[in-house]
Amino acid sequence: MPRIKQKTKAEDLTRVRNNQRRCRQRKRDYVAELERRLTSIEDTTSREIQRLQSIVDELRQANERLTALLYSGGTDCGSIGPLRQTESENDALRDMSSDLVPLGDASILGKAV
């Protein structure tokens, strides 16, 4: 049977201290990496919010110009709102109907009609 090397108490304490030191360093490195990633994400998010806000501002200005153009042409802009709503309802119905199975094609479901 091989002889197991016995370590002294001082060697064990040194090993434990070194392990703890390495563990603390790994934790500091990990936290620093997380903080770096957070800063990067915050910067990216901030730039994206500014970009989107700029697009929103441009769209609002374009909408105001188009509304003014409609008014100058004598169009009542109040009648446009219901038309947009009807179109969006039609789009929603069209999306839902694409999920339906035609009666003649019920074999897809494994049932005979």
C-alpha R_g of the chain: 34
Residue 22 domain-assigned (yes or no)? yes
Residue 54 domain-assigned (yes or no)? yes
Residue 101 in tokens: 């199975």
Domains identified in the chain, total number = 1
Residue 1 domain-assigned (yes or no)? no
- Alpha carbon 71 to its chain centroid, in Å, reads 39
Residue 14 domain-assigned (yes or no)? yes
Domain, as residue range, for 52: 9-72
Alpha-helix residue ranges (DSSP H) falling in 1-103: 9-72, 80-97
The pTM of this model reads 0.50
Per-residue model confidence as pLDDT tens digits over 34-74: 999 999 999 999 999 999 999 999 999 999 999 999 988 87
Residue 84 domain-assigned (yes or no)? no
Residue 37 domain-assigned (yes or no)? yes
